[in-house]
Amino acid sequence: MAKGGYSRNIAGASGTLALAAGKLALVLVPLTLMCTVLQGSSLRAEAADTLPVASSARLEQGADQATLTFELSGPVQATAFVLGDPDRVIVDLPQTNFALDPEIGKPENLEPRKNGLVASFRYGQLEPGRSRIVIDLAASAKVLRAGCENGGDGKTRLVVELSRTDKASFRTAVQAARARLAELAQPKKPIEREPASALPVIVLDPGHGGIDRGARARGVVEKEVVLEFAKVLAAKLEATGHFKIVLTREDDRFLSLSERVRIGRERNAALFISIHADTLSRVAKVSGATIYTLSDRASDREAARVAAKENQSDIVAGLDPSEDNDDVAGILFDLTRRETRAYSHMFAHTLVNYWRVAERLNKNPRRSAGFLVLKAPDVPSVLLELGYLSNGADSLALNSPDWRDQASGQVAQAIGAFFASRERNRPMTTADPDLAPAGKIPSSKP
Ligand code: ZN
């Protein structure tokens, strides 16, 4: 398991991003806007053509200093701070159109350096109205300046200048940033459930989005293919007239993991399906879909790897993991949680059997691990890894509208079968006969 304690962080799992957004926006916006931001209204996204455009980025670094420069179409207000675990510099901006190759800040695309300050950087939209640059540090650094200057050639440059500092000073700066964030924090809202709907609510959760692109390989980007898949599946389910469908995101925006969980709970979801695609850099032959459920201990090392990777999403977007620290006594939840897990296993089992009729499955298609996005105690939740972008056949499939149509059809059928049998077969136990040892494929058919 990648991260301990998720099972205790239950009811208070509030929208971390919304919270962080509110807090950070306070730093950025004039006082008169504060009330609006505190009430949770998101800053309206400006029309794309009026947004500042970043047209190039350049990193220069020596052993003790680094300068990251973006060329912009006009000045923006930047707010920078440092976060630890892992050590990062965060630069918040109003929504900016990054007309740049999203890969340029990846370690393999930076000039190799033994003792640089910056390991990698990325940028993108955090939510409508807000963009962010996240700089992963290779050594403790402080922000000397983060702001715009006129380049003299009529162009504006956003310059982020860092210099090496010692570990103790860095820690002090992290504590100061956290204290300021905490001071500005809104109290976490309790879960506000919608009135029950006449139809079962299915929440589809396309993973990643915005600044968090997820896995990438062979020119395919996870956040894009999973959104496409979710939309096709949503249309199929809606067409049955049997379900109410909610998508956690319908466009390219970032949502924190706890915000996704919260949507499932607030919408009274009868089923939550998080949709992802995996990649393995060194084993291109591994292929097929895998269906994960939540467990305290990972079913195997591969499941632990996948959960650790998917749980990184908040870190990738520059959120502070210490924000999500609610601790709710678990005992009242235990019975609910047991039933929830049993339903999750039941659906995962059904999905495996429907999927295998038409699509490729991983050789061990049912696994479990500590996925943060599956932690709702009262919403049956599974995570579907559609396949491996690192595998040629999977990558082609995931990018193909025909495959998407066919595979989402299998998922829609599995959902139909699950709800049809759910009332007949109320689960009595959390035991999951499906979690077979590696390599053994469950033999039962729907
Ligand atoms: Zn993912």
pLDDT in tens, 135-174: 999 999 999 999 999 977 888 999 999 999 999 999 999 9
**What would the mean pLDDT of 306-315 be, rounded to a whole number?**
94
Instruction: State residue 435's pLDDT score.
Output: 54
Instruction: State residue 374's pLDDT score.
Output: 95
Q: What is the pLDDT of residues 325-376, one digit of tens each?
A: 444 445 556 778 888 999 999 999 999 999 999 899 999 999 999 999 999 9
Residue 282 has pLDDT above 90, yes or no: no
Residue 109 has pLDDT above 50, yes or no: yes
Any idea which residue has 């999905």 for tokens? 351
Integer Rg of the chain from CA: 22
Query: What CATH number is given for 45-184 in this structure?
Result: 2.60.40.3500
CATH of 191-422, one of 3.40.630.40, 3.40.50.880, 3.30.70.360, 1.10.540.10: 3.40.630.40
Residue 212 Cα to ligand 1 middle (Å): 9
Instruction: State residue 427's pLDDT score.
Output: 56
Alpha-carbon distance of 207 to 148, in angstroms, equals: 33
Q: What is the pLDDT of residues 110-140, one digit of tens each?
A: 988 788 999 999 999 998 899 999 999 999 9
**Coil/strand/helix, residue 159:** strand
Least confident of 44-58, 268-282, 298-312: 44-58
Instruction: State residue 123's pLDDT score.
Output: 96
**Coil/strand/helix, residue 407:** helix
Residue 326 Cα to ligand 1 middle (Å): 24
**Coil/strand/helix, residue 370:** coil
* β-sheet bridge partners, residue 131: 93, 125
Token pair listed for 101: 């190759």
Alpha-carbon distance of 179 to 168, in angstroms, equals: 16
Instruction: State residue 8's pLDDT score.
Output: 27
Contact 417, 354 (CB under 8 A): yes
Instruction: State residue 188's pLDDT score.
Output: 77
Looking at per-residue confidence, does 43 or 151 come out higher?
151
**What would the mean pLDDT of 196-224 be, rounded to a whole number?**
94
Residue 394 Cα to ligand 1 middle (Å): 15
Residue 155 Cα to ligand 1 middle (Å): 37
Residue 135 Cα to ligand 1 middle (Å): 21
Residue 205 Cα to ligand 1 middle (Å): 11
Residue 295 Cα to ligand 1 middle (Å): 18
Residue 10 Cα to ligand 1 middle (Å): 22
**22, HSE (Cβ side, Cα atoms, 13 Å):** 21
Residue 311 Cα to ligand 1 middle (Å): 9
Residue 330 Cα to ligand 1 middle (Å): 28
Any idea which residue has 């996005």 for tokens? 373
Alpha-carbon distance of 366 to 306, in angstroms, equals: 13
Residue 208 Cα to ligand 1 middle (Å): 6
Residue 436 Cα to ligand 1 middle (Å): 24
Instruction: State residue 337's pLDDT score.
Output: 85
Alpha-carbon distance of 371 to 368, in angstroms, equals: 8
Any idea which residue has 């950025």 for tokens? 28
**What would the mean pLDDT of 234-255 be, rounded to a whole number?**
96
Which H helix or E strand runs over 423?
none
Instruction: State residue 152's pLDDT score.
Output: 78
Residue 383 Cα to ligand 1 middle (Å): 9
Q: Kindly report, as residue ranges, where domains of CATH 2.60.40.3500 are found in the chain.
A: 45-184
Contact 302, 367 (CB under 8 A): yes
Instruction: State residue 332's pLDDT score.
Output: 54
Alpha-carbon distance of 310 to 276, in angstroms, equals: 9
Looking at per-residue confidence, does 111 or 247 come out higher?
247
Instruction: State residue 131's pLDDT score.
Output: 95
Q: What is the pLDDT of residues 363-412, one digit of tens each?
A: 999 999 999 999 999 999 999 999 999 999 999 999 999 999 999 999 99
Instruction: State residue 197's pLDDT score.
Output: 87
Residue 31 dihedral angles phi and psi, to the nearest 5°: -55, -40
Residue 314 Cα to ligand 1 middle (Å): 12
Centre a 10 Å sphere on the Cβ of residue 195 and count the other Cβ atoms it contains: 5
Q: Which amino acid is at 284?
A: A
Share of the chain above pLDDT 90, in %: 65
Centre a 10 Å sphere on the Cβ of residue 238 and count the other Cβ atoms it contains: 14
Share of the chain above pLDDT 70, in %: 81
Sheet containing 201-206, strands listed edge to edge, beginning at the edge strand earlier in sequence: 244-247, 201-206, 271-278, 381-388, 289-294, 361-369
Residue 250 has pLDDT above 60, yes or no: yes
**CA dihedral over 6, 11, 16, 17, signed as positive or negative:** positive
Residue 128 dihedral angles phi and psi, to the nearest 5°: -55, 130
**What would the mean pLDDT of 278-285 be, rounded to a whole number?**
86
Residue 317 Cα to ligand 1 middle (Å): 13
Looking at per-residue confidence, does 302 or 50 come out higher?
302
Average pLDDT across the chain, whole number: 83
DSSP state of 122: E
Q: Kindly report, as residue ranges, where domains of CATH 3.40.630.40 are found in the chain.
A: 191-422
Residue 343 dihedral angles phi and psi, to the nearest 5°: -65, -40
* β-sheet bridge partners, residue 98: 54
Residue 322 Cα to ligand 1 middle (Å): 22
Residue 23 has pLDDT above 60, yes or no: no
Residue 213 Cα to ligand 1 middle (Å): 9
